Structure 1
Amino acid sequence: MNNNYELYKVFYWAAKTGSLTQAAKALYITQPSVSHAIKQLEDSFGIILFYRNSKGVELTQEGEILYSYIEQSQILITLAEEKMAALKNLDSGELRIGGSDSLFKHYLLPYLESYHQKYPGVRLHLNHGTTPEIISFLKEGVIDLGVVRMPIVDPQLEVRESIQLQDCFVAGSRFAELKDVVISIDALLQHPVILFSRNSRARMAITELFQSRGYHLKPEIEVGSVDLLIEFARRGLGISYITREFVSKELEEGSLFEVQLDIQLPPSHVGIMIMRNMPLSSSASKFIELVR
């Protein structure tokens, strides 16, 4: 039993066109090659598949049965080729990204918007979670990319792209006396400080920085979302520690201002993580290019 796909392809075109010459043209091969392929197929089955006639060739009863199967497979192969071309050109497919709510809303949204406009055929799936959850999603194959705060040390993962963000203290009009002046940590701690409640990377970094200077950073208010960090600061409930890029709109319109400290605050990095040694889908590669 010969399972050579090329022979079936020749058989399909000969049966479809009813002509060895037409089959040769469709396949860009010579007519003797077509005749030889059909003879090989007939020999392998021990069955005559075509009658020769004055117009060309006609299927025998057995040939008709084979054709009914081969035709289906050929349609599926053509569909598969079209699907692959569509995926390559990003007419279809999906992009699965994991990240925190705040990164999606305040950082990734413009990129996702541009991507969706550029490739409207690609379905977007956003998986929200903490950094450990995002890493699990990546390892389980639930997402193509994870967008997380660095550093991440894991031999199974690699950082494909890293973006630098800057955390800062912000306040609203209630603390207007702090605007446009540089203050010390002592002066800052005279006021209520608002921090993110979860033990986030940003919170750990600022706590360590203050500790290294001999200060204990104890927030007066802890909140569970970036939106509340922004809202509480705007309403004058305290001074929030937040990523500057997440409050660019508020800083621009003046509902918040940055509180300048006399020490350098550490920048933070966000990495686009992928599984090491795993091929990236076209949709994921294009997204990384867009962010770059």
Structure 2
Amino acid sequence: MLVSLSEILPEASQSKSAVACINVFGFEDALAITDVAESLNLPVIMATNKDMVDMLGVETLAGMLLPIIQRSSARICLHLDHCYEESTVYQAMHAGYSSVMFDGSQLPLADNIQRTRQVVDVAHALGVSVEGEIGSVPYDEGRDHIQSIYTEPEQAAAYASESGIDAVAVAVGNVHRLKAPGCEIDYPRLAQIESLVEIPLVIHGTSGIHEPDIIRLKQSRIAKFNVGTSLRQVIGNSLRAAMHAEPEQFDRSHFMRQIQPAVRDEIERIMLLLAEDKTDKEDTQ
């Protein structure tokens, strides 16, 4: 079942849970995400990042992923991750994406607001949700041109209200593509942002955040956590082990079937970590 961010994030923002946004790098990932979401009866977001868009294009990605999503009983959002060009954002909307991220985080605030507002006007007319970013979440590797700028609470408030976006990504110590947890979250800054911004908040770089911090963050106004590196690590390590164990085997589909249990286990770990557990619910009663 295809949904947008505006259909699943507001509830998460007001609860002690959050929604996993998982980067997809192939149809096997998509099938595993769908299976886990259905078994856990939890919403999930499938995201395609810049690498995948550059390789395949949004039309091909939508054509591959939408049939999987549409036949699923789970609520699944097809989301275009960090995109810096409006032309690609509009192509994704018309290809069938239910959500897009226009990333103007490297722009001056006024330009970020203006350009995001233009995207929002088109997106909302098509029933598509929009995520933006204020401040700038850095990358541990690759994309060296991306700055590291902590989110200023007052700028976040202005950006959220004037751009009309449905969710805003913030930089509070989180880092993209860390291979192991190592971030230090600026909780006072996050608290200031929460007090000024009414829409759901988003954290990128979840693989680099310690689990106790993820649990604490999901109980705040953070409604969406982007995850990519930890799943790619599981896929890569599992494939190496499987190929080493069967050096005479060369069938790609054979190896992808071999690693599916490990892939599903990692997706389940992520989604359950972000879900509202029984103790959370008891605390609210």
Structure showing greater radius of gyration is 1
Normalised to the residue count of structure 1, the TM-score between the two structures is 0.23
The TM-score normalised by the length of structure 2 is 0.23
